[in-house]
Structure 1
Amino acid sequence: MAVKLCGFVPSNATFRALVSLFEKDIDVEFVKVHMADGEHKTPEFLARNPFGQVPVLEDGDITIFESRAITQYVAHTYTDKGTDLMMKDPKKLAIQSVWMEVESQKFDLPSHKLTIELYFNVLRRGREADEALIAEFEKKLVDVLDVYEQRLMESKYLGGDSYTLVDLHHLPNLHYMMATRVKRLFEARPHVCAWAADILSRPAWMKIVSILTSEGYV
């Protein structure tokens, strides 16, 4: 029976979970949640995720929500399939864990704020840019990218010398930001720029781009 992922296009959290399944070559049934109709607030959906948010993964008798929890479940459960997304050596895994925390605690907030403002509000909805908000979160993002540039001078990927969940977790926000003026912040840092181009060109992410294209988001 296929793994089922309930999500919403163009939710970055949904795509974070979905791309992990694609990296593992797992047969997945993608079930669209119609959030505009309030489907995520129905009793049936709340039984899966009491917070009424996407994505939700169902795999046999287990149901998991929160995108990063889903990706870790996928990586640990399907170790024999597809791309190895977790380090095996305990010390390397510890380093990977550090950078996974950096993504969730340092990168996610400014990148998410800039994605919502510049991609969805300005580019998609045609609203006037909130320049004060953009300046605030560009500064926060610059601080993170400066650290990333130094890190990527030492290793090819953020978690080490191979592509892992650390890099995968960046993909949705990174994809949207590269369609906005924030792209210049990545291009100004050669190692960050090369890393971004590398992970955004992965076949698993290209499947996500195909979904976005079919839904009119590219």
Structure 2
Amino acid sequence: MALVLHSTANKNANKTLIVSEFNGVKVELAKDFQMGVTNKTPEFIKMNPIGKIPVLETPDGPIFESNAIARYVARLNPDKNLFGSSSIETGQIEQWIDFSTNEIDAHISAWFYPRFGIRAHLPPAEEAAIASLKRGLEALNSHLASNTYLVGHSVTLADIITVCILVQGIKAILIKSFTSEFPHVERYFWTLVNQPNFKKVLGDIEQAKSVPPVSTLKHGQPKEAAKPKPKEEAKKEAKKEEPKAAEEEEAPKPKAKNPLDLLPPSKMVLDDWKRLYSNTKTNFREVAIKGFWDMYDPEGYSLWFCDYKYNDENMVSFVTMNKVGGFLQRMDLARKYAFGKMLIIGAEAPFKVKGLWLFRGTEIPKFVMDECYDMELYEWTKVDISDEAQKERVSQMIEDAEPFEGEPLLDAKCFK
């Protein structure tokens, strides 16, 4: 029997369908499949006890879970090397499949689903999802800066699964201003989706123009159909509504602008600096650091050192790193207006946490001080760039210079 994929056409089904195009194994979508109907039948439940899609029907029995199905089909034609040509390549392919599932797909879904009313929308959870997604995309972007594909020199299963994950995000919520922070990911994505085997399944991809508003439908609350009213009652209500229809609707109040958007234009373009920082891989001091000081505008931006007030409590390395990671997640509200470096210093406990922040404006933005409670856990000192020692300290912190002030770095985290 042919391989039959029981599913609607979606991100998870596309993984297997693209694999089938690459390795020449025929996979057919089940005919007349209806989500919510077909997957509740006894026949389907025998294939997947929890009724989720996709499910692949094979001569030897069914397989469910989309990555498992894609792996199975990829292995049916080993000559195509979709699973690599060596043990290390196979391990790296598995690595990137897990990475894209856990570090990209999970966070796209956590941002995407609540916006469409599929899950409850909680602003702090959304902020955390966006921050985590950016971290994943930064790591992917860094790898792709020197690699055309995730593993080796041709398309593998890792690329197929990663691209299918990115397709959903880019079509639904990842607008250009968001993805432009990750130029190597953009190049990789648009190159692959335009390859024939991808395009045959995915068709033309159009990037979302705006982040969708939060659905007005409450999570878990289905829309109720309006009950028909008696004709006489309906006529009376129509008459009551006539005067309202003639009235001019009140114009919606414009959204208040962030005070930082009202500042005079600055010669420093923050996104230009972030791109320079991200893309400089060699001669960092000569290229990125020099570029920073050439761009820096002390009238439009300010630099600040921060020192954690309670370093004597930093006795466990991973707890200290998580503490700093949480701070950076909560700072996501300032991403448009800030760049930061956080250093965790020391070879042994207690570890010191010190940071450098670049903020739009000549003071730390008030909304950041008000809304990010971590700010009060640090001592903040404005950088005096006329002091060459302070200026050099700024350069060292941007560069992750080691040793820093005589001590090794345990970790260095960037907010950009």
**Shorter-chain-normalised TM-score: which range?**
0.7 to 0.9
Give 1 or 2: higher strand fraction: 2
Q: Aligned-pair distance for 1:180?
A: 4.0
Q: Distance in 1 between matches of 2:102 and 2:187?
A: 23
Post-superposition offset of 1:69: 0.6
Gap regions ≥5 residues in structure 1:
213-218
Instruction: Sort the Cα spacing of 1:67 and 1:162 in 2 relative to 1 into closer, same or farther, 3 A.
Output: same
% identical aligned pairs: 24
Alignment equivalent of 1:106, drawn from 103, 108, 115? 103
1:33 and 2:33 aligned: yes
Q: How do 1:48-127 residues align onto structure 2 when only pairs under 5 Å count?
A: 48-80=47-79, 83-117=80-114, 121=116
Q: Distance in 1 between matches of 2:172 and 2:60?
A: 41
Matches within 5 A, 1:126-165: 132-165=124-157
Q: TM-score, normalised by structure 2?
A: 0.44
Partner amino acid, structure 2, of 1:199: L
Q: CA deviation at 1:27?
A: 2.3
| Structure 2 CA distance for aligned equivalents of residues 70 and 3 of structure 1 | 11
Distance 1:130 1:23, change over 3 A: farther
Give 1:148 deviation, angstroms: 0.8
C-alpha contact 2:39 2:52 (8 A) present in aligned 1: yes
Structure (1/2) with the larger helix percentage: 1
Is this contact kept in 2: 1:95–1:159, CA < 8 A?
yes
- The match for 1:5 is 5
How far 1:163 sits from its partner (Å)?
1.5
Q: Does the CA-based 8 Å contact 1:54-1:65 persist in structure 2?
A: yes
How far apart are residue 177 of structure 1 and its match? Answer: 1.9
Give yes or no for contact 2:15–2:164 (8 Å, CA) kept in 1: yes
* Number of equivalences: 202
Whole-angstrom CA distance in 1 between matches of 2:171 and 2:101: 22
Q: Describe the superposition over 1:9-34 as per-residue Cα deviations: whole angstroms up to 9, x where unpaired.
A: 3x322222222222223222211531
Partner of 1:4, secondary structure, is strand
- Give the conservation status (yes or no) of the 8 Å contact 2:5–2:54: yes
> In structure 2, what is the Cα distance between the partners aligned to 1:144 and 1:61?
37
Query: CA 1:204 to 1:117, structure 2 compared with 1: closer, same or farther past 3 Å?
Result: farther
- Structure exhibiting the larger radius of gyration computed from Cα positions: 2
Structure 1 residue 90: Cα displacement: 1.4
Q: Does 1:23 align with 2:16?
A: no
Residues 148 and 192 in structure 1, CA contact (< 8 A), matched pair in contact too? yes
Q: Distance in 2 between matches of 1:101 and 1:149?
A: 16
Q: 2:184 aligns with which of 185, 191, 196?
A: 191
Change (3 A) 1:74 1:194: same
- Indicate conservation of the 8 Å contact 2:112/2:173, yes or no: no
1:47 aligns to what SS in structure 2? Answer: helix
Answer with 70-79 or 21-30: which moved more. Answer: 21-30
1:201 is aligned with what amino acid? N
1:20 touches 1:168 (CA, 8 Å); kept in 2?
yes
Q: Does the 8 Å contact 1:114/1:177 carry over to 2? A: no
Q: Provide the residue aligned with 1:215 in structure 2.
A: none
Q: Which amino acid aligns with 2:19?
A: S
Structure 2: gaps of 5 or more residues: 206-416
1:182–1:210 distance in 2 versus 1, CA, 3 Å: closer
CA offsets, 1:113-141, max 9 Å, x none? 334345xx28xx9xxx8755543321111
Identify which of structures 1 and 2 has the higher relative contact order when contacts are C-alpha pairs closer than 8 Å and 6+ apart: 1
Q: For the Cα contact (< 8 Å) 2:20–2:27, is it kept in 1?
A: yes
TM-score (norm 1): 0.80
Equivalence for 1:45: 44
1:156-175 correspondence runs (5 A): 156-175=148-167
